[in-house]
Amino acid sequence: MTTLQKIAERAGVSIGTVDRVLHNRGRVAPATEARVRKAIDELDYTPNLYARNLKLGKVYTIGIVMPGLDQDGGYWALSAAGMNRALRELAVNRIRGRFFNYDRYAPDSMFEVEQDIRNTDLDGLLIAPVLTDSVTELIRRLPENTPYIFFDSDLPKLNPVSVINQDGFQSGRLAAELMVKILSPPGTLLVIKTLPDDYHISARCNGFMNYFGDSKKYTVEMEEADIGEKPGKLKPLLETAMNGHSGLKGIFITNALTYQVAKALKKLSNESRPALIGYDLIEDNAVCLDHGLIDFIISQRPEMQGYQGIYMMFRHLIIRETVERRIEIPLDIITRENMNTHRI
């Protein structure tokens, strides 16, 4: 069966653009419309199924459950930007989004979110499940048959419509490989596992440790630190690591707070610093990368995840397509030389 997604891919446009062409809603550049109509003809699309499933007059509301947009250095604001772009494109389809933000450093904040969700008429949920236990309980108490999609992370024991995230284990191995390429053995490597713990943070740690296996070339140690909520804990952690390991050659930080480690290292020593690898091109990380305080950033494309999440729910709710069970985000390596091409 030909779907709007297949037409969009053939024409190189969004699903929203295909919809505007099909139903003469909104402006579309003539050249773009021509590509869409050519794709429709080539794929022999019949729009009756879509029209039948789009209930006249109904507004579809997607609940978006995610941490506060300013948390983790503004990482979540990037995801929200992608969602808002998709919602603007799909506005003609009567798709709306409502944000329910929780404090990722306070699991009890999910109780208030759950009450707000219960008091709101929602057709589906897009969830960042970074508070494993709290999100599990939320889903357990949802009305039966409520569709939900995960982004950023996963909870393998649950059954979402789809999961949009990066392979955490492989990204941890990628970070380890990058370390090896820029360092020379022997030496000690430090993994800073940020708290609170969640599934994809653990997967990254496991991937990094797995890469070295029984290697005798490097000693790999791991420290847990809730530096998002209590950044003051970072300085003594780094002092202990650097004083205890004269051969400390590299640090792997498992989320977007890489800039905190970079700035702390700069204050601690003017001598050669350990190599530093972390995640995501938030503004503070971009500044540190540009100044040579971070060596590599691994991007998980939060804007793409948010954008895809809204469109996946649109396809599931309205078009009634069988959507992909998983969309795996590429492992992008960002350096000072290419970071401007990755900015929004």
Q: What percent of the chain is modeled with pLDDT above 70?
A: 93
Look at residue 54 and tell me whether its pLDDT is greater than 80: no
pLDDT digits (tens, 9 = 90+) for 85-117: 999 988 888 899 999 999 999 999 999 999 999
Please compute the mean of the pLDDT values over residues 297-309 and round it to a whole number.
96
Weakest-pLDDT range from 59-68, 137-146, 178-187, 233-242 = 233-242
- What is residue 48's predicted lDDT score, i.e. its pLDDT? 54
- What is residue 276's predicted lDDT score, i.e. its pLDDT? 97
Look at residue 57 and tell me whether its pLDDT is greater than 70: no
pLDDT, mean over the chain: 90
Whole-angstrom Cα distance, residue 125 to residue 309? 10
Whole-angstrom Cα distance, residue 291 to residue 262? 10
CA triplet 299, 308, 163: central angle to 5 degrees? 80
Q: Which domains does the chain have, with CATH numbers?
A: 4-53 (1.10.260.40), 60-166+302-330 (3.40.50.2300), 168-299 (3.40.50.2300)
Q: What percent of the chain is modeled with pLDDT above 90?
A: 64
- What is residue 19's predicted lDDT score, i.e. its pLDDT? 82
Q: Helix 30-43 vs helix 15-23: angle between axes, to the nearest 10 degrees?
A: 90
335 residue type, one letter: T
DSSP state of 274: P
User: Sorting pLDDT into bands at 50, 70 and 90, what band is 53?
Assistant: low
Q: State the number of CA atoms in the 13 A half-sphere of 312 facing the CB.
A: 26
Look at residue 154 and tell me whether its pLDDT is greater than 90: yes
Whole-model pTM: value is 0.83
Look at residue 246 and tell me whether its pLDDT is greater than 80: no
For the chain, helix (H) and strand (E) counts, in that order, are 13, 12
